[in-house]
Amino acid sequence: MKEPNHKKKEKQELANAFLEEISEGSMPMLSLEQCELLLEIFVENAHEEGLNHLEEVLMEQFPFSEEAQLMLVEIKSFMLQYDDALSILDQRLMMSPTNADLLTAKGEILIITEKYEQAEDALQQALLYHHEPAEIHYNLGLVAQATQKPEIAIENFNKALEIDPNLENVWLDLGYNLEMVDRPEEAMRCYEHYLDLDPFSATAWFNLGVVCCKLDHLDKAVNAYDFAITLEDDFASAHFNLGNVYMNLEKFDKAIRCYEKVLELEGSSGETYCYLGAAYEHQGLTREASRHYKKSVSFDKNYDDGWFGLASCCIKTDRPSEAKHFIEKAIALTEDKPVYWMIAAEAERMLNNWEKAELCFERARSIGGINEELYVHWSMMYYQRNDFSKAFEKVSEGMQILEKNARLHYIAAAYLLLGHQYDEAIDYLKTALSLDQEKFDALLDFFPSRKTQKALFEFINQYRKDQIE
């Protein structure tokens, strides 16, 4: 939560007076409350000289104060002197072994130094002696998060919020762990609550954008990433993710601007060049797309998506031999992507290598490529050879899995019409129309003749009238 301006001004005036007195060679006499304020402002401004002088004051004026010792621990931690910080805590714990604040501080430093097992031991001890252990549960949640135990992290973060719902960072970390266990709606609510407390957190806006994408709330994701970028213009990941959202929204010019900004911030990257290539490819600008895909693989020869992009552009520009060369490079790097094998099949089909194409389609299916495009392209291989019966067989195989797919039903009707099986074709056409009338073009693509199209339109109009009646 943003600090009021008058409080900031008071702290700054105290810091200026402190440093001025030090520069004059005298040691200011301070209260513990003033030391706490100075610690806050020196840490905020990364003022190491000020922290060194504050350390001298704490050691000289408050040698036996537990509060002062905890401030010394914070100074040592800020200076990355973790061993010294732990040494101070261990000395104090010898005198006060049941002090929950000391045990909590020790647990926090052990988390920073990635000694999670020891951190958990210290924090579990602290729980025994603390009446309102919100911070302890929060830190236990951080231990669980760091050790890949999101369910335990969620449990501890929720306990912390039950005690103190105003612990801002808990909402952020809780949201992250809810994402990890595939609970995006709850994660979104956590990020929104956090942003109610601190609307100036670029990280929170970024996280909200990520979870909105998972929920397919793309317009809301755009707003979230925009806020993140407004707060931190050099937030490269936010620019990159925003570009991805624009790709999904088919706003390719905006996506290109985002990816170009990423290159400006982070320099050349095989991934970013590849995404730029995809944005141009979706606009039908295959030459520009190929240029960026080439940059992608020139920068990183092991970036398989770059080789795939080149192959895809070659397919679209009727260069199957080159497509085959590029897709073989992609498959050599990553052979378990169905779409790679589908492009390989297309290249072989265009080269009239029917048996090889068949094997590639089978490979795509075997590794999980069960989707509409697989069966459409597989059937087209037989359509190209006027084997309408086999083409129908392949589409029918797809419909057994994708029962409600209108496009496959329209294409099935087309193959049956071409094979002069009119009664069966009408049945499939009626089913397709009942599923989605807007995809009727999938049938018309097979019949460029205006006369045939007119007859088909008459059929669909009659079907609509029958449905209304």
This prediction's pTM: 0.80
The pLDDT of 375-382, averaged and rounded, is 94
Going by C-alpha positions, the residue among 155, 107, 152, 149 that lies closest to residue 128 is 107
User: Dihedral of the CA atoms 69, 74, 80, 84 (nearest 10)?
Assistant: 10
The pLDDT of 369-397, averaged and rounded, is 93
Asked if the model's pLDDT at residue 272 lies above 80, the reply is: yes
SS (H, E, C) 328-341: HHHHHHCCCCHHHH
Task: Name every residue whose Cβ is closer than 8 Å to that of residue 455 and which is 6 or more positions away in sequence.
Answer: none
- Taking only the tens place, the pLDDT of each residue in 238-269 is 999 999 999 999 999 999 999 999 999 999 99
Report pLDDT for 464.
67
Grouping H, G, I as helix, E, B as strand and the rest as coil, residue 147 is coil
Parse the chain into domains and list their residue ranges: 390-469
Rounded Cα gap, residues 317 and 327, in angstroms: 15
Report pLDDT for 116.
96
Rounded Cα gap, residues 18 and 111, in angstroms: 33
Asked if the model's pLDDT at residue 458 lies above 90, the reply is: no
The pLDDT of 37-52, averaged and rounded, is 91
Contact 58, 72 (CB under 8 A): yes
Rounded Cα gap, residues 5 and 52, in angstroms: 26
Query: Which DSSP string do the residues of 357-416 spell out, in sequence order?
Result: HHHHHHHHHHTT--SHHHHHHHHHHHHTTT-HHHHHHHHHHHHHHSTT-HHHHHHHHHHH
DSSP run (H or E) holding 112: helix 100-112
Report pLDDT for 465.
65
